[in-house]
Structure 1
């Protein structure tokens, strides 16, 4: 197909290298973006809560069980040199919900239960991360 996927699911047994595989993929994508001209069509746009601003992001959203969010961050910090990737743990009561801030990270790590609480369903009035 000629379409480029904008996401995916990597599900495998424990201990087979899913975390390391994803870190390598994220770094590979980041390097490809550096080596070619900016393609605005591949970036995702986030609206502020009141739809007054748009923020472009090329970051990766990682959704995992709460017991693994710190593992993900620690693996990125351990495997990637010189802080090449900016990582945000989107969890806990003091999380920053502003789209402007979240869009600056290369990786945002959160849990399904938190997303389920914050992402509106089609029946609800649309709300997106705040500016």
Structure 2
């Protein structure tokens, strides 16, 4: 696994005062978290996907440092194992897929003007 630059991975010992983080853990920014998930788990994880999941939920746990999201490798591993399905001998053994809405709950699916035209 190859990370872009040393400045993009932060260790807790480098942060002022540690910030309540465990010393010695490496934190990946969103770009390097995506690279980590692809390299270690083979997941087709894009930066945009992780960014969207950070807003709507369903992604790996992260910490905030200013505007940056910092991911721990253990949280990325837990996320990967949670979304990877069980071993099966054929697709007939798979449970039915859940249908996910791309629109977060509580938001209208369409907007109708007062005149009734769309």
TM-score interval w.r.t. the shorter chain?
under 0.3
Normalised by the length of structure 2, the TM-score is 0.23
Higher strand residue share: 1
Greater C-alpha radius of gyration? 2
Q: TM-score, normalised by structure 1?
A: 0.22
